[in-house]
Amino acid sequence: MLYKIGSDQKKNRILQKIKSSGNDNLNQCLQCYKCGGMCQKSDKFDYTPRQILEQIIDGLEESILNSRAIWICETCNECKIDCPVAINFKKIMASLREIAREEGIEPNTEEVNRKFVKKAHCPKKEDD
């Protein structure tokens, strides 16, 4: 889908939210593809972790919040442990689920992270 890059990062709501939830190193990502190859769940994802990250930078909110990947992620943290710049996807994915939930977006896959399903009915936020 064609999209237009805006120059004003302040208008990029999703980027601002992800940054304020403690992920301020997004632009250190080398787009090296290691995370996508190592994630146990990425074969079920529509976007690999780094593709989600790239879309956050350009503010492609609709596509991210409607993606399967954010619900399937096991928040296992493996991708962060072996990422050369320690991008914290576990935290990013949790924030994205939270934003999706606020927007009233339901998981669109059967493969939802079970840890998250339990918590979805609980008013408390997901753990880090």
User: Is residue 28 at the binding interface for other proteins, with CB under 8 A as the rule?
Assistant: yes
Which of other proteins, ligand SF4, none interacts with 84 (beta carbon under 5 to 8 A by kind)? ligand SF4
Amino acid at 115: K
By beta-carbon proximity to ligand SF4, the closer residue of 49 and 59 is 49
**Tokens 């503010």, residue located:** 59
**Distance of alpha carbon 53 from its chain centroid, rounded?**
7
CA distances from 75 to 24, 59, 114 (A): 19, 22, 10
By beta-carbon proximity to ligand SF4, the closer residue of 8 and 43 is 43
Which of ligand SF4, other proteins, none interacts with 77 (beta carbon under 5 to 8 A by kind)? ligand SF4
Amino acid at 34: K
**Tokens 């632009």, residue located:** 27
Which of other proteins, ligand SF4, none interacts with 1 (beta carbon under 5 to 8 A by kind)? other proteins
User: Is residue 66 at the binding interface for other proteins, with CB under 8 A as the rule?
Assistant: no
Q: Are 52 and 96 in contact (CB under 8 A)?
A: yes
CB of 70 to ligand SF4, least distance (A): 9
CB of 22 to other proteins, least distance (A): 17
CB of 87 to ligand SF4, least distance (A): 4
Q: Are 27 and 87 in contact (CB under 8 A)?
A: no
User: Is residue 93 at the binding interface for ligand SF4, with CB under 6 A as the rule?
Assistant: yes
User: Is residue 70 at the binding interface for ligand SF4, with CB under 6 A as the rule?
Assistant: no
30 φ, ψ (degrees, to nearest 5): -90, 0
